[in-house]
């Protein structure tokens, strides 16, 4: 793999509020396990922004021309919109491994352009990622010890996933939308496999369930659910309680992109506030919600370090034309510090 030395840049102090020099994170104290993420050049960032703007304007024009209160029509529009969002997450990007101690990046050779990292296995020896295969997104696994790449999903599109204990995998499959009585089901549904990764079965109804996060004990999935009006909510489903009947899930909090701390005590996530998206943490039952520090950045895509002491995330100045950067802060939200600064970086997985 080709090493890339990142050039240090200065982030305006107002954007990293709360980071005082006497309590600054020491890079040498960070766990050395690499952070998988995607990077873009400035030109690629502009191409992505132009693509997203064009698609957003097209969707808004359609909604203005054909207003509706029909839940199924609204669901289909959101389905198309989320499909574009998932497609654009890693578009025009390259997957790299970032050494958080040395701040050096390595281009990976096993994944093609536009590959999106999803999760490291619990023992940090396998990386789950998503890439287009014959015009459909599918999940793949890279095994560090051998360099082997395995395709894990086939058939219908699979847009997201995470590892659970014992080699189990939670995966998001994109199914056709359908209406059952007054319920809209199908769409983006979460499936879980047995130990070893076989025989996936659905544990959510959809229609818009993504970003599954599996608790370290394997008993709970927390995931991101969207309603037909575009509201994002974190929900929980108890996997051990799942049987032949329909799964029972419950809402926890507004937010997106959940991830568990290694000890299972906290769920770290991003949530919309009056000043943009910020990082929060809560217990898996939705209690104990608290902010992870103050910031002038839009904070997205959190991932917790292997030792549970730090959170890496993408931060973006909403008033800037530049892309997001990769930052790290302590699990209590203190002392944010920049990690990757050459070009833009997002979707970190630690």
Q: What CA–CA distances, in Å, run from 236 to 140, 166, 331?
A: 25, 20, 22
At residue 2 the predicted structure's pLDDT band, cuts being 50, 70 and 90, is very low
Domain housing 310: 3-7+15-349
The mean-pLDDT minimum among 1-10, 132-141, 193-202 falls in: 1-10
Q: Write the pLDDT tens digit of every residue in 109-119.
A: 999 988 999 99
Contacts of 153 (CB under 8 A, 6+ apart): 138, 139, 171, 173
Which residues are CB-contacts of 123 (< 8 A; sequence separation ≥ 6)? none
* 243 has a pLDDT exceeding 50: no
> Which of 56-65, 204-213, 221-230 shows the highest mean pLDDT?
204-213
Q: So what's the pLDDT on residue 164? A: 93
The CATH number covering residue 293 comes to 2.120.10.30
- Classify 102 as helix, strand or coil: coil
Helix (H) and strand (E) counts in the chain: 2, 25
- pLDDT tens sequence across 276-326: 999 999 999 999 999 998 888 899 999 999 999 999 999 988 665 678 899
Beta carbons within 8 Å of 300's beta carbon, 6+ residues apart: 257, 270, 277, 313, 314, 315, 316, 324, 346
Number of domains in the chain: 1
pLDDT of residue 19: 45
Torsion of CA 193, 197, 207, 116, to 10 degrees: 160
């Amino acid at each position: 793999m080709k090493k890339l030395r990142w050039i240090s840049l200065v982030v305006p102090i107002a954007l990293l509020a709360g980071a005082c020099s006497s309590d600054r994170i020491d890079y040498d104290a960070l766990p050395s396990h690499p952070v998988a993420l995607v990077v873009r050049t400035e030109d690629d960032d502009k191409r992505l922004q132009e693509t997203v703007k064009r698609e957003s304007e097209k969707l808004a024009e359609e909604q203005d021309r054909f207003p509706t209160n029909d839940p199924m029509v609204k669901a289909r529009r959101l389905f198309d919109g989320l499909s574009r969002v998932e497609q654009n997450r890693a578009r025009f990007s390259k997957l790299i491994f970032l050494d958080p101690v040395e701040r050096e990046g390595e281009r990976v050779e096993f994944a093609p352009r536009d590959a999106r990292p999803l999760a490291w296995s619990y023992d940090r020896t396998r990386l789950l990622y998503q890439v287009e295969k014959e015009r459909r997104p599918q999940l793949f696994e890279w095994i560090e010890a051998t360099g082997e790449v395995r395709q894990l999903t086939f058939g219908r599109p699979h847009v997201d996933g995470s590892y659970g204990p014992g080699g189990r995998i939670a995966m998001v499959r994109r199914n056709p939308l359908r209406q059952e009585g007054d319920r809209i089901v199908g769409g983006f549904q979460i499936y879980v496999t047995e130990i070893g990764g076989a025989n996936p079965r659905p544990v959510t109804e959809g229609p818009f369930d993504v970003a599954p996060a599996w608790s370290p004990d394997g008993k709970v999935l927390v995931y991101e659910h969207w309603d037909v009006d575009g509201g994002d909510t974190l929900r929980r489903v108890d996997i051990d309680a799942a049987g032949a009947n329909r799964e029972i899930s419950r809402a926890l909090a507004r937010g997106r992109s959940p991830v568990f701390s290694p000890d299972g005590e906290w769920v770290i996530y991003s949530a919309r506030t009056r000043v943009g998206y910020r990082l929060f943490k809560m217990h898996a039952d939705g209690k104990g919600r608290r902010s992870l520090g103050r910031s002038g950045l839009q904070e997205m895509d959190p991932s917790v370090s292997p030792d549970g002491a730090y959170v890496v995330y993408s931060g973006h100045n909403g008033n800037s034309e530049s892309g997001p950067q990769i930052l790290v802060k302590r699990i209590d939200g203190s002392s944010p510090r920049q990690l990757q600064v050459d070009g833009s970086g997002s979707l970190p997985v630690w």
